[in-house]
Amino acid sequence: MMIDLSDYESGAKYDGDYDADLKALQDRMAELQSLHILHGARTLIIVEGWDAAGKGGAIKRLTATLDPRYYQVFPISAPTREEKDKHFLWRFWNKLPGKCEINIWDRSHYGRVLVERVEGFCSEAEWRRGYDEINEFESRQGEIGTKIIKLFLHVTQETQDKVLTERLEDPAKRWKVTAEDFRNRDKRAEYLDAMKDMFKRTDTHWAPWTVIDGNNQKASRIAVLAHVVKELENSVPQDFPEADDAILKLAKDALGYKADS
């Protein structure tokens, strides 16, 4: 089904107890991470979206209860000079999750068909070729058992402008606003065209896109966590292994512990 970003612009308020529901989802994320570790799963979460769409806030809440030894967040910025000399996917290989790991990319290799396309940082031939290269790259990860969850946070121009203004008025957040935000803002129509092509060409059955309406912050954060929880529940075995007999014996000898029969 074709993804139309205009379907994700209602900005409806969250209809529920936000604090309680957020805590429940975060607690479930912690439990799912335990299962993820125990079963040696691999998960890559890709978070894309407009500037000021709430990607960082969603990631912060997604990881709030996770064991930091088994997840990493990679903020993807402009490639370095060395990275520019290599194939555009080269810099992403060492950011892929290993066994037991959940890795989160704040922006991603989709820069090739978004910002690099719109801003002219690569040739037309390069970004057109990028769709197949991205699909192949993601397909290979799936073949070794990596679960890929792709999220796109969408906001209207009105919402984006409101957030940028609020950040400028807050000394603690003013640093987040850059000239790039305004450069990208001026080319919104071109970015919408690029996003339409991106969804059409890379919304695959092995790595589908999920669009999140980011126009209400609380509803957006709940939607992100709820989707990730659902995907992990579907991809990670939900059974905890039995206690190790050797460990139980040590516990009995040291603690007098007796396992329930």
Query: Could you report the per-residue pLDDT of 75-104, keeping only the tens digit for each?
Result: 999 999 999 999 999 999 999 999 999 999
Q: What is the pLDDT of residue 259?
A: 81
Host H or E run for residue 148 = strand 146-154
pTM, to two decimals: 0.95
Contact present, 35 and 195 (Cβ < 8 Å): no
The pLDDT of residue 1 is 66
- CA–CA dist 158, 3 (Å, integer): 21
The confidence score (pLDDT) of residue 184 equals 86
The mean of the pLDDT values for the chain is 96
Cα separation values, 107 from 15, 130, 134, 213, 256, Å:
29, 16, 14, 17, 51
Band of residue 180 on the pLDDT scale cut at 50, 70, 90: confident
As a whole-number percent, the residues of the chain with pLDDT over 70 amount to: 99
